[in-house]
Each structure stands twice: as C-alpha cells, then as structure tokens.
C-alpha cells in the first residue's frame, strides 16, 4: 500500500529543515544554492555540507529528504544539473524533483534506483502527460499544478499509477508553473531558467506623495495608502487598471489553504500534501508543519468526523499572505 497523505514541508535552510522534522513532517524538500531549483534566492538553500547534515538529521528520525532540481538546464550548462542529480544519489536523498525531460532521462539511466518525482514546474495537468513521464522515466510521483479542481484531480488519480502530491498551504501561484513568463517579461530573470520569480534585486520601494510604491524593474506593481499593509511585489498579485477599473486583476495577495479538503484528498488516495514556502523562516515552517501534522493525523484517525479546528485556521492565518486564504482552483467557482 503506497503512502497516504505524507506531509512534505519546505526547508530553505538547515534550521528550517530541523523545524520541519521536529514538527512532524514526513519529508522535507530543499535545493542547492544555485539556479538548479526554482527558489534561487540569496541567503537561501543548501551547500553540500548543509545537505549532508540535513539528510543525517532527517534520516536519523526516519524522515525523507527530497531535492528540488526543478528548473530547465540550458545549452552549455547541462552538466551543473546532471552533477546535482549525481550528488543527490551520493548523498542518498530519497527523491529528486525534476521538471525537465532531458534531465529525467539522465537520472533514470545513470541512477536507476534514484526515485524521481515530477515537479509542478513540469506543468503536467493530465494523466496522459503524467503517464508519459512514467513510461519514459519511471517517475514515482507527480506534483500537480494548482489549477485543477478536485473532480479533475480525481480523474487524473483514476488513470495513473503515479502517486499524486497536491499543494496544501502557502503562496498561491495562480499561473500554471513552468508556463509563466511574467517575471522574465518584466525583469529578464525567468522562473524556468534562473529559478526566480519577481527577484529581489529588481524590487524597489519608494515613498511618494501618492503613497508607497513597489516596482519591479521600474514597472509599478502596486501603490499603498498610508493605512494599507504593503506586500511583496509579486507581479501577478499587484493592482492594475483594466478598462478604467483598478483592482487585483490577476489575483489577490492570498494564501492557498486546503485544510478542509483533507478528507476528500484522503479519499482520492493522494500520496502527499506539499507545504509551500522555502523562502520563509524556520518559525513559519514550525507553525505550519505543526498544524498540518495535527490535521493529517486527525483525518487518518477519523476521516468521517474530521472538522477543521478553528485554532488551526487562526494559526495559519497569522502566517498567510495578506492574512487571507482560499481553496484556489480546487473550489470550482474560484475559477
């Protein structure tokens, strides 16, 4: 029987990894300090020594460590991604999370025992796409983009042997990951190739007579009145004007939170729940991991009577973007 509702938590640093493991994560995911992963931010991620220490810590407590190598290698630089796969095998990581088919082919051939997960950056939204990666590279798990309704997830689950991992909590990527070039259009840095979205070096804050302005490479993303709480200028969560109306034209600054869907996810046989936020602090990781551990345990104990404890929402809202949450695409009318 495959695992059910494993809790997979983010680790942007060794302290965050320990917080996740101590808080009850079944697995953590992390990345190297370069553009081989989609959270290539300075001050974040792991060098070889930190990964080794993290693997020791997690494995010592019976937990898994997954390595995100979910950007797309480019001509002349493929070796960096391939070496990262080799290191993952040497360090005995439990799986690598890949988006690029060329890299998957390398990993499957060179390290047949290394478990492969399809990253959300691979943009696979149908069982036909997921089964493509299964047949060619024997992937064991696919992380689904945050764009399918639960009914659509069910169809995928019924038509593939590949384990499915769904996003449970964290920043809501409104676009299909791996298919979004908004950040590169504005800044030149691409999530697909550089591993960054709305990169910090392109961000400027300026107090003006009209309010506090946030810009991304000069493009005005939002402007805040004195009493308003300013958010990070993620491009798709800015306020823009369409036909004379100014609003969050793409998405509000809000977090995804699917706690109340856990029983349905369990019924669909979802293998794992992913928590987003490698760029967040160890305190965030500890807080979120604790809540989700309690919730998943409650679902496993008694799925029929599961109810979201008000305290869980309270704790999660404290660390949510804009202190708001949504069921995202899992909830059909959201679309």
Partner 1 sequence: MKLSLGPLLYYWSRDDTFAFYQAAAAWPVDSVYLGETVCSRRHTLRLPDWFSLADRLAAAGKEVVLSSQALIESESDLKLLRKIARNGKFLVEANDFGAVRLLAEAGVPFVAGPTLNAYNPDTLAMLHELGAVRWVPPVEMPARMLAAMPVPASMATEFFAYGRLPLAFSARCFTARHYNLQKDDCQFKCLDHPDGLTLRTREGAAFLTLNGIQTQSARVYSLAHRIDELRAAGVGLLRLSPQAQRMAQVVEVFHELITGGLAPAEAPARLARLMPGEPCDGYWLGQAGLDWQPERAALPS
Residues that bind partner 1 (CB under 8 A): 72-76, 78, 99-103, 105-106, 122-129, 131-133, 135, 147-148, 152, 155, 174-176, 178-182, 184-188, 190, 192-193, 217, 219-223, 236, 239-243, 245-246, 249-251, 329, 332-335
173 is in an annotated binding site: yes
Nearer to partner 1, 196 or 329 (CB): 329
Report H helices in 33-77: 48-60
| Beta carbon of residue 14, minimum distance to partner 1 (angstroms, whole number) | 31
Nearer to partner 1, 25 or 130 (CB): 130
Query: H or E stretch including 131?
Result: helix 127-137
Cα–Cα distance between 37 and 326 in angstroms, integer? 26
Q: Which two tokens stand for residue 112?
A: 């047949």
- Are the beta carbons of 295 and 335 closer than 8 angstroms? no
Nearer to partner 1, 6 or 276 (CB): 276
Q: What is the dihedral of CA 30, 33, 38, 39, to 10 degrees?
A: 80
| Beta carbon of residue 334, minimum distance to partner 1 (angstroms, whole number) | 7
Cα–Cα distance between 317 and 41 in angstroms, integer? 25
- Are the beta carbons of 293 and 28 closer than 8 angstroms? no
**Other CB atoms within 10 Å distance of the CB of residue 24:** 18
Nearer to partner 1, 243 or 305 (CB): 243
Coil vs helix vs strand at 89: helix
194 is in an annotated binding site: no
| Beta carbon of residue 178, minimum distance to partner 1 (angstroms, whole number) | 6
| Beta carbon of residue 191, minimum distance to partner 1 (angstroms, whole number) | 10
236 is in an annotated binding site: yes
- Residues forming the annotated binding site for [4Fe-4S] cluster? 173, 180, 197, 236
């Amino acid at each position: 029987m495959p695992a059910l509702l494993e809790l997979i938590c983010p680790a942007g640093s060794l302290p965050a990894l320990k917080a996740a493991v101590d808080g009850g994560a079944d697995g953590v995911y992390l990345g190297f300090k370069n553009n081989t992963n989609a959270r290539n931010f300075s001050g974040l991620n792991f060098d070889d020594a930190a990964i080794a220490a993290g693997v020791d810590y997690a494995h010592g407590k019976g937990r898994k460590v997954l390595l995100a190598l979910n950007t797309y290698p480019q001509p002349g630089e493929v070796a960096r991604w391939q070496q990262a796969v080799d290191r993952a095998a040497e360090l005995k990581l439990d799986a690598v999370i890949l988006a690029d088919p060329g890299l998957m082919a390398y990993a499957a051939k060179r390290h047949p025992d290394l478990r492969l997960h399809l990253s959300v950056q691979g943009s696979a939204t149908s069982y036909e796409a997921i089964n493509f990666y299964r047949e060619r590279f024997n992937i064991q798990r696919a992380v689904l983009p945050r764009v399918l309704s639960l009914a659509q997830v069910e169809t995928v689950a019924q038509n593939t042997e590949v384990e499915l991992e769904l996003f449970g909590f964290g920043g809501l990527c409104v676009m299909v990951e791996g298919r979004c070039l908004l950040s590169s259009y504005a800044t030149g840095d691409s999530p697909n190739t550089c591993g960054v979205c709305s990169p910090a070096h392109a961000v400027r804050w300026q107090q003006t007579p009209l309010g506090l302005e946030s810009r991304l490479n000069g493009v005005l993303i939002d402007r805040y009145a004195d009493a308003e709480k300013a958010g990070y200028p993620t491009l798709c969560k800015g306020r823009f004007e369409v036909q004379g109306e100014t609003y969050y034209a793409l998405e509000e600054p809000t977090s995804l939170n699917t706690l109340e869907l856990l029983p349905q996810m369990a019924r669909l046989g979802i293998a794992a729940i992913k928590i987003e936020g490698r760029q967040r602090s160890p305190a965030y990781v500890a807080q979120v991991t604790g809540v989700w551990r309690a919730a998943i345990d409650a679902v496993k104990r008694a799925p029929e009577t599961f109810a979201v404890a008000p305290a869980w929402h309270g704790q999660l809202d404290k660390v949510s973007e804009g202190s708001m949450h949504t069921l995202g695409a899992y909830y059909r009318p959201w679309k």
